[in-house]
Structure 1
Amino acid sequence: MKQVWKRMFPGTLALLAPVLIWAKEQTTVRKSGSASNPTNTVSQRSQPALMLARHWEAEIDIRGWWASEKFDGIRAFWNGTELLTRRGNPTVAPEWFTALLPEWPLDGELWVGRKQFAKTLSIVRDTVPGAEWSQVRFLVFDAPQAAGGFEQRQTFLQQWQPPEHVRLVTHERVANETDLQTLLIRVEQNGGEGLVLRRPGSLYSPGRSGDWLKVKSYEEGDAEVIGHLPGKGKHSGRLGSLQVRLADGREFKLGTGFSNAERETPPPLGSTVPFRYSGF
């Protein structure tokens, strides 16, 4: 297993807390379809054939696009029989959590609340599902096998009556870039991560697509841990900051937001550290 660290904390740079990425497991994606069974097909593969967003650039005209909140949760795919992570690993959701899900696929996010990623992760990766699953919501934003463009797939979803712990994500039309910035400010002021834009009429196309765009006030990256710098004062004798290197060779320090436990046992040299930033 590969160790990755993921956590958000205040500041221009954000080191993301430790998670273990589970080993890839072979899974099967259901292929049936109609109004009770959608018609498009998703091929069999070890990982779900998910549609992934690109980053929005200012030169892209987004007038008339659909916007929804970008939730800081765990991407989840219901294939009709199993609830899988983005990497294709089956979750250990309680039976009641999946009992009323449909026989056709759903794409969404497992989510506890804003700024609660670490808690969501702790619940979902537990090998024995506990009572804390009652705090998890499955936020559904698409039906990958439903026929038609984005609006038709949303209409299809609206015909379904989900159980209480499943919520259909609301999408709003964006009039122009000013409208987009207003929506982004509103979401971020409420503790949200950002927005996802979806092109009107777009098909569900697995892979990275320009028909879905992420909009955030910060960017994300990965860096390699190349050094542990000692702390001073109250952090004397343990980690002060991490020295990290980007793929292009740039180096910098990540030094805030660590818990006491993380300072005692920092990410090892050579490990990959995802981080968020608003600029170097």
Structure 2
Amino acid sequence: MSKPTPMLAVSGSPPGTDSWAVELKFDGMRGLAQSTADGLWRLFTRSGREIAAAFPDLVARLDDAFDGRRLVLDGEVIAVDGDGRPSFSRLQRRIHRVSAPISVITETPVDYVAFDLLELDGAPVTGLPYTERRALLESLELPRHGLQLAPSWPGPEAERVLQQVNELSLEGIVSKRRDSTYQPGRSRSWIKTVARQSLSALILGFLPGTGPNTDTFGALVLGAHHRDGTIHYLGCVGSGFTGATRRILRETLDTLVVDEAPVDIALPGVRWVSPILVADVHYRSLGADGALRHCSFRGIRADVAPDAVEWPAPIS
């Protein structure tokens, strides 16, 4: 049985017409859930990495909910903060584990929010329009089984929903063409509009820390692939880390140190690393040179392949 390949959205403004529907964009990790012929459930990230062992509580919930039915769901794995908002930073406690002991499951519970259906009772439904797939997904009565269904609104409600998303400090919205089929890969039939600017960046190195950060690092050096395939400097991020995150990251970075800089820029004191870790960061704006301004660290994206990290804006 092959791994499901996800459909991906492009960035843009919501069309806001009757030809579209609007869903919430969740601050979590993409998860494609697939049941097998022998009754087992598999869970994959956007990049195809299998993560069922890290989320046995979700797998058990899926198994109880569907009792051997052959399904493929597309959705988001989320962990909520103290205010009930999905928090990618909180989800970090679960993402990188090969397995999850009971103590971790109890301390950091997770939920699964489904927003699409790729297969129903062993038959593919990706060729159906969004509206029909959505109706089939709703017929599964996910909330009755302890799973969540992404809320949906008519396209003309986009601006109102986005305003509420901003007021509640949520992630954003995704507009979906009502007549669109499920197309693996990036498609303009799905348009994401984020309330907060965020992106994935390669970790290229780290700068020394001072004071309480002397034994870890002061900031991470970031970069991304330019359209010509080379890696370009994207700036540094020095905020958003907990003490524990700094220690764990430093231990990992020490194993990746290289002598040659992966980017053509002079930064005194930096220790370069092999660019295989992907950081998720918030930022306020991009400078004239394309570098990030006022950015903060949110976590490591284990679900994003390093070679998929692209420059966020055109540069000369």
TM-score under structure 2 normalisation? 0.64
Is 1:97 equivalent to 2:103 in the alignment? no
Equivalent of 1:247 in 193, 206, 225: 225
Shift of 1:127: 1.0
Query: Which of the numbers 220, 225, 230 marks the counterpart of 2:199?
Result: 220
1:143 aligns with 2:117: yes
- Rounded Cα–Cα distance in structure 2 between residues aligned with 1:80 and 1:237: 45
Could you tell me which of 47, 50, 61 is aligned with 2:6?
Answer: 50
Partner of 1:83: 42
Aligned partners of 1:75, 1:232: CA distance in 2, in Å? 36
User: For residue 183 of structure 2, what is the aligned residue in structure 1?
Assistant: 205
Match of 1:278 in 2: 284
Give the RMSD, CA atoms, in angstroms.
Answer: 2.7
Supply the distance in 1 between the matched residues of 2:235 and 2:90 (Cα, whole angstroms).
Answer: 29
Tell me the amino acid that sits aligned with residue 74 of structure 2.
D
SS in 2 for 1:127: coil
Any idea what the Cα deviations from partners look like across 1:20-71, whole Å, max 9, x if unmatched? xxxxxxxx2xxxxxxxxxxxxxxxx3x3222111112x4x744222111111
Which deviates more from structure 2 when the two are superposed, residues 129-138 or residues 269-278?
129-138
- Structure 1's 244 and 67: CA in aligned 2 closer, same or farther, altered over 3 A? same
Task: Provide the secondary structure at the position in 1 that maps to 2:187.
Answer: strand
The alpha carbon displacement at 1:96 in A equals: 3.3
Report the CA distance between 1:90 and its aligned residue. Answer: 4.7
Which of 80, 96, 99 does residue 127 from structure 1 map onto? 99
How far 1:155 sits from its partner (Å)? 1.3
- State the distance in 1 between where 2:101 and 2:285 align: 40
Q: CA deviation at 1:79?
A: 2.0
| 1:120–1:273 distance in 2 versus 1, CA, 3 Å | closer
Distance in structure 2 (CA, Å) of the matches to 1:250 and 1:120: 28
Which one has a larger percent helix, Structure 1 or Structure 2?
2
Contact persistence 2:16–2:159 (CA under 8 A): no
Task: Kindly tell me the number of residue pairs found equivalent between the two proteins.
Answer: 230
Separation in 1, partners of 2:244, 2:101: 25
The TM-score, its normalising length taken from structure 1, stands at: 0.71
The residue identity in structure 1 corresponding to 2:139 is: Q
Percent identity of equivalent pairs: 23
Partner of 1:42: none
Which residue number corresponds to residue 168 of structure 1? 149
**Cα contact 1:48–1:77 (8 A) shared by 2:** yes
Q: Unpaired runs of 5+ in structure 2?
A: 119-123, 227-231, 254-272, 287-316
Aligned residue identity for 2:284: S
Residues 260 and 55 (structure 1), Cα distance of their counterparts in 2 relative to 1, 3 Å cut: same
Tell which has more relative contact order, 1 or 2 (C-alpha 8 A, sep 6+): 1
Unpaired runs of 5+ residues, structure 1, are 1-27, 29-44
Distance in 1, Cα, partners of 2:225 & 2:139 = 47
| 1:66-89 alpha-carbon deviations (Å, 9 max, x no partner) | 111111222222222323112141
Residue deviations 1:86-122 (CA, integer Å, cap 9, x gap):
2141502246312223422211112222343243343
1:184–1:160 distance in 2 versus 1, CA, 3 Å: same
Would you say the 8 A contact 2:26–2:86 is kept in 1?
Answer: no
Structure 1: distance between partners of 2:94 and 2:274: 28
Given that 1:223 and 1:245 are in contact with CA atoms closer than 8 Å, whether structure 2 keeps it comes out as yes
